A and B are shown apart, each in its own frame.
Chain A
């Protein structure tokens, strides 16, 4: 909460404004108390908890099969990947072997989710900077992905498709064709992103040399994902600690060394192309077989502590389960990427203009329910 005791120096020139909890730039109920000197930012203080639903506590009262669906509501833009992380952790505890087909399906879905998340981020990012049109253009491509999700998983946003031991249902027969259609559409349209936003001189001036984050700061603040890779920190969990079949796939970890908003922007744009590469490798080579391993009706994890991490669209998501041997977890902790990424906002925003703060929040790609949980 806002600390009254904190001494605000130079009261005469300070202007304290509250951005949020209801504000168009925060894309959710984030509350930022900003101390300004004219247009220049002196301090940013995020206030959290407006959308805290105590998801960790809720998960502790649900069985291992049941709690996965709740995690879709954390980072709702990469719901699949959240579910995947939980499923991986439970499988680690059970020592389950996942059929190769299920692994391929999971990776495919993860990467589709990543593209959908980055598409939405791209549109929202441009909208933060005042260009409304890209938002609608991004949704055109994203819509194709959500249609694919709807066909196979039965829902568009909170799918609950990953279950311990595999996936809930087999792929829809038309899945492969639809994904191929999407790839064609995506490749036909991706150059428009550069034409409308990336190459635009106003956009480049707004993004370059703004919000510099050094690699050391990125590590010490615990920034992960594309935001840290924009500073040149190698932190892609898919490369560092490969899970599923990521070690067998050919893709590059996208790194930019600029450290500014533009570098973070470029990392996300290029990451979409890497995801496309992964999908192209997998889509014709989905192994035959079971889509789900045989599991008991009631899952019981052995006594102990289990931790897995995955790379969501925003960074590293860690799932930590403490089991007492019962049907429900004793303690669950999620290490969500949004929370750590938000913590760096004050550091990079100091000294820049109010308009830049919006751009920085955009490039950190904050999803507020992910921060509060």
Chain B
């Protein structure tokens, strides 16, 4: 059966046969780096065309359909255009901060790709605090937004950055609490452990209603954390023109844009890992035949299928709902999501102690 782990293992053996162990390690690290950069760019292109198609179909349009087969190369063409454009720095801006900010956004998004399990036994870094690592690093992304907003010397950018700061700091809480629900059930922060704990059923099914509530809270919170509509107050086109990246142009703008989409991918991958079993196939109790057919589908297909389903869900939100106001945004977090997820965590803990889950 075709799988990523076989390819990786064969490559590892081949390199070991031909080079010294040190050289092998260096070559593997370089290959991993190239793969991450390739994934970063590839994901950006795929997600942009996906967003444009999803929005078009919801809005009774056809979407991009000129460049390449069915318009699938449109985002590639756009990237080339952005590469050729002049990246201007406003004269009043803090030059260093202004130019560094998009790279911080990009580096954060790349770092977050490390603990994601893309397929069975195919993971860059299976560290024992994988989930904690993701929550910790993703908080850094707010720094890039604040840097961009503050250094632009633009009032719209400043307001967008400040909004974004308040928003991300508060929504980290309920995202963390809903992630905690899964960790309570699994008893481990390691991504591979969490996935293996779902071999007999995904947490969203095993954990009854509290786990479903945790899943919904998680989706809402990560939508807010990635600054996507209906929580796109940092950009808020009709209020702040483009928010924190008003002054950015060319490739520097594109890096923010790509980082946003890669962040969406990462939080959805995390959601798929925690609640929908990562690369675990879908199994139903004792249906041997059905389970066998499900096992036959490669694990990478399961992982990407689940992740893209969640991404599609978040895109669906974006093209349906109006934007919240800043005070309502904070109300939703502090008055609704946080109390609900706290009570929910209590229920999940109770379930874990009494072994009520399947």
Show the binding face of A for B, using Cβ within 8 Å: 15, 17, 23-25, 39, 126-133, 135-137, 140, 196-197, 200, 202-203, 205-206, 353-358
Contact = CB atoms under 8 A, between A and B. Distances in A.
10 contacts: A15-B159, A130-B229, A130-B232, A130-B322, A132-B55, A136-B60, A137-B59, A202-B321, A206-B324, A355-B239
Of A17, A203, A355, the most chain B CB neighbours within 10 A belong to: A355
B272 to A, nearest CB: 26
A345 to B, nearest CB: 15
Interface residues of B, number: 28
Nearest to A27: B238
B236 interface: yes
A238 B303 CA distance: 62
B328 A205 contact: yes
Interface in B222-238: 229-230, 232-233, 236-238
B183 to A, nearest CB: 31
Of A15, A197, A203, A354, the most chain B CB neighbours within 10 A belong to: A354
Given A39-B326, A203-B322, A206-B324, A358 B59 contact: no
A206 B159 contact: no
Contacts of B155: 15, 17
**Closest A-B pairs by Cβ, 3 of them:** A130-B323, A129-B322, A136-B59
B327 interface: yes
Interface in B209-257: 229-230, 232-233, 236-239, 241
B326 A353 contact: yes
A202 B238 contact: no
Of A132, A135, A140, the most chain B CB neighbours within 10 A belong to: A132
B355 interface: no
Given A206-B325, A354-B159, A129 B60 contact: no
Contacts of A355: 233, 236, 239, 323, 325-326
A133 B61 CA distance: 10
Contacts of B230: 130, 202
B227 to A, nearest CB: 12
Interface in B289-337: 319-328
A23 B246 CA distance: 12
B325 A132 contact: no
A214 B61 CA distance: 42
Contacts of B58: 133
Given A39-B327, A130-B236, A353-B326, 18 more contacts: A23-B241, A39-B159, A128-B238, A130-B321, A131-B322, A133-B320, A137-B59, A140-B60, A197-B322, A202-B321, A202-B322, A205-B325, A206-B324, A206-B325, A354-B239, A355-B233, A355-B236, A355-B326
Nearest to B327: A353
Interface in B145-180: 155-156, 159, 163
A109 B162 CA distance: 49
B320 A196 contact: yes
